[in-house]
Structure 1
Amino acid sequence: MTDIAASSFRSSVTRVPRWVLLFGVALLVRALTFGNPILHVDEEFYYATAHAIVHGAIPYVDVWDRKPVGLFLLYVPAAALGLPLGIWAYQAMALASVTATATLIARLADRAGWAKGALPAAIAYLLWLNLLEGEGGQTPVFYNLLMVGAASLLAPRPDDAAHPTRRLAHGCAALALVGLALQIKYTVVFEGAFFGLWWMAREWRLGRSWWGVVLLATPLAVLAAVPTVAVWAWFGAHGLGDAFLYANFESIGARGSDPIPRELGNLALMLLIGSPLGAMAILAARLPAHDDTQALRRWLVGWAIVAALGILVFRGYFDHYGLPLLVPFCVCAAGFFAEHYRATQVRVPLLIVVLLASQIVLLVKRHERGTPADLAAVTRAVGHGPGCLYVFSGSPMLYPLADRCTVTRYRFPRHIGQAKERGAIGVDQQAELERIMAQSPEIVVLGPVYSGERADLRALFERYVAARYRQRSDLPLGRGRIAVYALR
């Protein structure tokens, strides 16, 4: 009876659409995050910037960052709903995005002849996101979907030689998706270049002349560039072209780097977290392939290698920098799950361990970064009354939560306070801080000291606060404390 029941259960599961199963897994592994506005400081700022745009702010002019404007526009629909509904909305968007990405990962695995490993590989993607800061709305959570969509269009098919029109149409659509991804994060340029150059190489191998290849590749390059050029043109037409160019490109090269030991430590942690997927991808690459799947499998390995090299070039190596690797690595890991002789012994225990680890990581982060209740208490201390707010250090989410006027376009606190941003934000950090202080904002917020902070600027700000402000509260936010001061 037990065997019959188990067989019946498996049969029932196989009849459920795969995307439904993946949606259920995504819902389960991300449930602890829903409604929490302080999952990660990056997405707090993305939401805060989108909130400012909804209220008329112009990116790079009224609120400054070096991310592409497409990222902030992605958050605008959620921010337009207000709080707290907007938090649920962007997290629902992220949930839909990761479910769709996992579904396309499974489909690529099917095409590579790894159907038996497709579902475990797609589930692995959903689980590993939580280990690399992808539990919320980090940029790769959204652009990974665009890139795996592009990969699905471009990846070789056995009958490619017989369908030149399809190759061109798929190439154009894929590079258009890359263009959209570039407006979420410019780091996809390496994978995009791989996609475009591979498409050109395939056309040449199939008998086209180099001139013919270049001619056909022109619309692909144009489509990849159109979103960024269109944004640049809009800013240029409004006399803001220099602001766009500096924020998006020049400031990136001007920014300093973290100390080498810290970077190496970050890289080691990223490698450690991704090592099981990397090992499975390597083992899958060594498995024999049939003639009709060999080209695709090699292409997937090449994509994984290029994605890894792109991460190494950009340095920094924060956990979430590893998120783009998950897509090609998980597709390749499907080969291990499907064909390696150890797969049946490893598959379920590995996924269960990673599931438990992913939930422990979320609980630890909630303890360290704070709860919605913690942030609500700080927001009440800041208040919603008249007068402007300045957050020297702390959560950027306080800006939309308090909805007070602001005194600086640098609403990501570390742009002013972090040493590696010296000379990279378009103004002198100390001069900007002094300008802010001269405006005497009604409320100022001071969070705990962080690694890489300029101690001289903190000391300057603390002297200013001691002379002109009274402390309104000193409240916990996770493991740190947030001090709120009101003008005397």
Structure 2
Amino acid sequence: MPLLANPRLRLPILLLVAIAARALTFGNPLVHVDEEFYFVTAHRMWQGALPFVDIWDRKPVGLFLLYAVPAALGFPAGIWGYQALALASTVATAWGIARLAERLGFGAGATAGALAYILWLDLLGGQSGQSPVFYNLLMLAAASLALRPPPHRASHGLLIMALVGVAVQIKYSVVFEGIFFGLWLLADRWDATRRPLRVIGYGVALIVVALLPTALAAGYYAAIGQWDAFVFANFLSIFHRNPDPLSELAGNIGEMILIVSPIVTLAVLALRRSRGGRAHGRERRFVALWLAVSIGSVAIFRPWFDHYALPVLLPACAAAAGMLGRSDWQRWRTPVLLLAAALAGQIVLILQRAGRGDAGELTALAQAVGRGPGCLYVYSGTDMLYSATGRCALSRYLVPSHLIRFREAGATGVDQDAEIRRILAARPAVVVIRPPYRGERPAAHAIVTAAMARDYRLTATLPMGNEHLRVYHRAR
């Protein structure tokens, strides 16, 4: 694979492969339900809405601020904007993985490991703008800094934990990897000084810097009298969420393990086979520990959706370069593996587009809803309709599942059925409903269907992926 062996061609190769791997998603506002909500929330922020107060969710405010940059372009230009930002982050992260692989002594497979990262994103729900696509870059930068030869200056470690702190404000689950980075820095400091008080003081400083972005966000909400709303949404509500059925959890984690296991297996093999050498021992030990911590972090957070495993790809792909770059692998195994991942990724994207819908279907649905006066209530379906139509909302619970799924009962700070009845009592001009699905509460569905029969008329039934959504306009 002579092309992959040339470091000067690495960046253009990564860029071209990333564009090809993600091209099917460009301009599609329905890539993933999570991204739909991130964009809608960020779009509404430009209209004065405040996360956790006017729009409810558990994600850190930093994620919505990140999305607010492309959302300033409006709809649909902002969709292209956040996907371009995600593409840039993907290529930069892949390039950083190649550099990390070189520091591990796996330079021959560095570009292949970087390509594996890009291709595995498609397989794990990272084909567009999922949160790890962005914070992985921050964590990779932090890891690369942590691997500089000790002893470090104190400011060096503070920069590392500042990167971790910003990543935490994109997704809280990164905290465990951040703790590992902090402990690594403390171990380096101990080896350099052997002075307990200095190490303790350094540790306190690292913690303060890592928590600073979250403290600033909390301080802002406290200053405007919304401390309780911030704390409940960010830290307490998750503990009230009900578990999904065991069969669903088993399916989720089984799918995740099946997809990520090849690249993790290659990483483990590469690290084990290189364990005896002294060269690069410190770097390889760091990546091995990082891989273990990242896997443990995924295991802690159910319900184990595929994109939860995206952080594992950072250490896994860097270490897997040790196998992908072996001469016997480069003859045929490495190209076959990468081509198979590329093909499988495109099949996944095609199936997901067919199942979730595309821009054309959303446009048709938005036209059926209309842009006239009166508010919209998406009881179930895509909340991207709020941005596509510009209609007002009658509740801070824009994500339909927060009000209608079993797992959210008692976990959102509101009685679900009472909130649905309150929304309907406010007389929304248009209501959108998807077919019943597993996990939806029958009581919620009964409330809305009774209201539709009484006060609304069905004006359209339109396809959205593999479903048909019904549009109701108020009759009187």
TM bracket, shorter-chain basis? over 0.9
The answer to whether the Cα contact below 8 Å between 1:156 and 1:299 also exists between their aligned partners in 2 is no
Distance 1:288 1:103 in 2: 23
1:267 counterpart residue number: 253
Residues 1:335 and 2:327 aligned together: no
Distance 1:361 1:139 in 2: 19
2:413 counterpart residue number: 426
Residues 1:477 and 2:456 aligned together: no
Residues 1:286 and 2:272 aligned together: yes
The answer to whether the Cα contact below 8 Å between 2:101 and 2:321 also exists between their aligned partners in 1 is yes
1:176 counterpart residue number: 162
Deviation, structure 1 residue 156: 5.2
Distance 2:165 2:209 in 1: 7
Residues 1:410 and 2:383 aligned together: no
2:146 counterpart residue number: 154
Distance 2:459 2:248 in 1: 36
In structure 1, list runs of 5 or more residues that go unmatched. 1-5
Distance 1:198 1:329 in 2: 19
The answer to whether the Cα contact below 8 Å between 1:396 and 1:413 also exists between their aligned partners in 2 is yes
Partner deviation per Cα, 1:455-485 (whole Å, 9 max, x = no partner): 1111111111110000010001010011000
Deviation, structure 1 residue 306: 0.3
Matches within 5 A, 1:229-240: 229-240=215-226
- State which drifts further: 83-92 or 333-342: 333-342
- Match of 1:436, as an amino acid? I
Deviation, structure 1 residue 341: 4.5
TM-score (norm 1): 0.95
Deviation, structure 1 residue 337: 1.5
Give 2:83's match in structure 1, choosing from 72, 87, 91.
91
Partner of 2:460, secondary structure, is strand
Residues 1:298 and 2:285 aligned together: yes
Distance 1:34 1:431 in 2: 39
2:239 counterpart residue number: 253
Deviation, structure 1 residue 15: 6.6
Partner of 2:280, secondary structure, is helix
Distance 2:200 2:310 in 1: 32
Distance 2:396 2:132 in 1: 25
Distance 1:202 1:453 in 2: 51
Deviation, structure 1 residue 450: 2.2
Deviation, structure 1 residue 155: 2.1
Deviation, structure 1 residue 43: 0.2
1:143 counterpart residue number: 135
- State which drifts further: 363-372 or 92-101: 363-372
Matches within 5 A, 1:33-44: 33-44=25-36
Residues 1:464 and 2:451 aligned together: yes
1:372 counterpart residue number: 359
Residues 1:50 and 2:42 aligned together: yes
Instruction: Please provide the CA RMSD for this pair.
Output: 1.5
Deviation, structure 1 residue 218: 2.2
Give 2:172's match in structure 1, choosing from 153, 167, 186.
186
Distance 1:301 1:15 in 2: 25
The answer to whether the Cα contact below 8 Å between 2:146 and 2:185 also exists between their aligned partners in 1 is yes
- Match of 2:252, as an amino acid? N
Partner of 1:472, secondary structure, is strand
Deviation, structure 1 residue 172: 1.1
In structure 2, list runs of 5 or more residues that go unmatched. none
1:3 counterpart residue number: none
- Match of 1:261, as an amino acid? S
- Match of 2:260, as an amino acid? G
- Match of 1:472, as an amino acid? T
Give 1:127's match in structure 2, choosing from 119, 128, 133.
119
The count of residues paired between Structure 1 and Structure 2 equals 474
Give 2:204's match in structure 1, choosing from 215, 218, 221.
218
The answer to whether the Cα contact below 8 Å between 2:112 and 2:325 also exists between their aligned partners in 1 is no
Distance 2:436 2:307 in 1: 22
Matches within 5 A, 1:60-139: 60-139=52-131
Distance 1:47 1:133 in 2: 17
Distance 1:309 1:436 in 2: 41
Distance 1:15 1:179 in 2: 32
- Match of 1:81, as an amino acid? L
- State which drifts further: 266-275 or 199-208: 199-208
Distance 2:387 2:328 in 1: 53
Distance 2:435 2:142 in 1: 43
Deviation, structure 1 residue 164: 3.7
Distance 2:128 2:435 in 1: 24
The answer to whether the Cα contact below 8 Å between 1:388 and 1:405 also exists between their aligned partners in 2 is yes
Partner of 2:242, secondary structure, is coil
Indicate the percent of aligned positions where both proteins have the same amino acid.
47
Partner deviation per Cα, 1:43-101 (whole Å, 9 max, x = no partner): 00000000110100011111111100000011111111011110000000000000110
The answer to whether the Cα contact below 8 Å between 2:161 and 2:182 also exists between their aligned partners in 1 is yes
Distance 2:64 2:32 in 1: 16
The answer to whether the Cα contact below 8 Å between 1:156 and 1:296 also exists between their aligned partners in 2 is no
The answer to whether the Cα contact below 8 Å between 1:394 and 1:447 also exists between their aligned partners in 2 is yes
- Match of 2:50, as an amino acid? I
Deviation, structure 1 residue 174: 1.0
Distance 2:394 2:413 in 1: 17
Distance 2:196 2:263 in 1: 38
TM-score (norm 2): 0.97
